[in-house]
Amino acid sequence: MQTTVFEQVKETVYHETLANGLKVFLVPKQGFSKTYAVFTTRYGSIDSHFRTRSGEEINVPDGIAHFLEHKMFEKKDRDVMHEFSKNGASCNAFTSFNRTAYLFSCTDKLDQNLNLLLDYVQEPYFTDASVEKEKGIIGQEITMYDDNPDWKVYMNLLKAMYQKYPINIEIAGTIETISHITKEYLYQCYETFYHPANMLLLVVGSFDPEAVMKLIQKNQGGKDFPPAPQITRIFPEEPPAPAQHRVEANLAVGLPKCMIGIKEKENGLTAEALLKRDLTTKLLLDIVFGSSSSAYEKLYDSGLITENFDFDYSCEQDYAYSIFGGDTPDPDQLVETIKTIIEEWKQKGIDQDDFERAKRKKIGNFMRGLNSVEFIANQFTQFKFNGNDLFSVVPVLESITREDVEKRMREHFQLDQMAVSIVRSAAQQE
């Protein structure tokens, strides 16, 4: 077992790659009551076109990664959720564009819960009847998202930005696409993506790292796995330009919702370069649109935005985009004003004071995140999959200069890369 100490934030990470390829990371947190464990596979909704273990190229129905996540909880002779309840643990799982995570938190019986987590995720059991039954439940989950205007405006923006890359597809699929899911498809996906070598186990909280590592080694040592498959994911070539510049939809809302996205033209960064781009762009957005910016003041005072105005940057090896927006009485006016603001910033450049303030704020916010076992658990794996360390955020942030942000602004703020998504009530239609 190896140890990495992060001095500034006073955190220590214990880690090891097991013989079967599983990467294990342990982050003990002094004085905390609960422990949180996350078992994640690098497999999400975008991985729908790939080669199976036998080399066959297949396309699987949209929404299958999420469906598979649901079905992992059902076993022949027991119900996983009930087992966790018996141990007093609270369990959950989620599927995103590029990963599926299974997790629990507990304040007692960590050993039993960890074994349970490892065992249920490594023991698929799918039947025709249970697959059919799940379609009703997931159907209601999909309908719930269909009624959620914040989700709708976001998904529509991704569809507008991306012509081919599969982040333009709903994570849960649609009622139609999931109707094609069979247990055979589920097994094919499972065998391709759930090998330990494609997975990462993270435990954060109150425990002794030596003992926990031993328990994990023992659990994994007692199981046989075939050699790790070579995973070949097949992605379409994504053209740089957005698919559409504007999309609209109707749902029952109080005020129209408007989200603006800027799609990154150049991708392919990994590890620290990717992290640096991510943090630099987030600083940029905070300087330009943060609640202490002149743009925010102007937009808020003119009534064009409300307190829920927000912005974010998402950055992966294959795709990256910034989004900003919220509720507005006048989406078109908001879009025009934001375009003007961006042009003005490009004219005048980034101010040193604004830059320093944004950096301080980001460091403070990161520290706050470290109070939360959940925050660490959810962020850590994503960082690792991209070749980074969550606890290196502060030094990387500190290395960023005003000039970096300035340069990033000119690269990223390109109005022809912009797309707009609007959701309003039928009655608010122009």
Site for other proteins in 119-148 (CB under 8 A): 133-134, 136-138, 140-141, 143-144, 146-148
- Smallest separation, CB 280 to other proteins (Å): 17
- Shortest spacing between CB 247 and other proteins, in angstroms: 19
Q: Between residue 232 and residue 261, which ones bind other proteins under the rule CB under 8 A?
A: 250-255, 257
Q: Is 149 helix (H, G, I), strand (E, B) or coil?
A: helix
Query: 1 with 211: CB under 8 angstroms?
Result: no
Among the residue ranges 156-164, 211-219, 275-283, 356-364, the one whose residues contact other proteins (CB under 8 A): 356-364
398 is catalytic: no
**Which of positions 6-45 make contact with other proteins (CB under 8 A)?**
8-10, 28, 30-34
Chosen residue from 56, 307, 347, 430 binding other proteins by CB under 8 A: 307
Half-sphere exposure of residue 188: CA atoms within 13 angstroms, side-chain side: 20
Minimal distance, residue 304 CB to other proteins, in Å: 11
- Binders of other proteins among residues 396 to 415 (CB under 8 A) are none
Angle at the Cα of 237 from the Cα atoms of 235 and 239, rounded to 5 degrees: 140
The residue whose two tokens read 């709903």 is 170
At closest approach, how far in Å is the CB of 296 from other proteins?
8
In angstroms, rounded to a whole number, what is the distance separating the alpha carbons of residues 391 and 393? 5
Chain-centroid distance, C-alpha 237: 22
User: Residues with Cβ < 8 Å from 102, sequence gap 6 or more?
Assistant: 38, 39, 40, 69, 72, 91, 92, 93, 117, 120, 121
Query: Which of positions 187-216 make contact with other proteins (CB under 8 A)?
Result: 206-208
- Residue 228, SS3? coil
The footprint of other proteins on this chain (CB under 8 A) covers a number of residues equal to 77
325: left (phi over 0), alpha (psi -120 to 50) or beta: left
CA distance 8 to 267: 31
Q: Which of residues 82-121 bind other proteins (CB under 8 A)?
A: 82, 84-91, 105-108
Q: In the window 150-169, what residues touch other proteins (CB under 8 A)?
A: 150
Q: Which of 78, 223, 368, 410 binds other proteins (CB under 8 A)?
A: 368
Query: Is residue 372 close enough to count as binding other proteins by CB under 8 A?
Result: yes
Q: Given candidates 291, 340, 399, 401, which one binds other proteins under the rule CB under 8 A?
A: 291
Distances (CA, A) of 282 to 2, 290, 309, 310: 32, 10, 15, 12
Least spacing, CB of residue 306 vs other proteins, in Å: 5
Residue 186: CB minimum distance to other proteins, A? 18
Torsion of CA 47, 53, 54, 59, to 10 degrees: -10
**Minimum distance of other proteins from residue 425's CB (angstroms):** 7
- Site for other proteins (CB under 8 A): which residue of 169, 262, 358, 393? 358
Can you name the residues that pair with 79 across neighbouring β-strands? 74
Question: Binder to other proteins among 111, 176, 210, 297 (CB under 8 A)?
Answer: 297
Q: Which of 149, 166, 261, 331 binds other proteins (CB under 8 A)?
A: 149
224: three-class secondary structure by DSSP: coil
- When the beta carbons of 34 and 407 are compared against other proteins, the nearer one is 34
Which of the stretches 216-224, 272-280, 365-373, 410-418 binds other proteins when contact is defined by CB under 8 A? Answer: 365-373
* Structure tokens given for 388: 């980074």
Helix (H), strand (E) at residue 346: helix 331-348
From 157-165, 181-189, 285-293, 315-323, span contacting other proteins (CB under 8 A): 285-293
Q: Which of 11, 69, 74, 238 is catalytic?
A: 69
Strand partners, 420: 246, 260
246-250 and 418-424: which strand pairing?
parallel
Residues noted as catalytic: 69
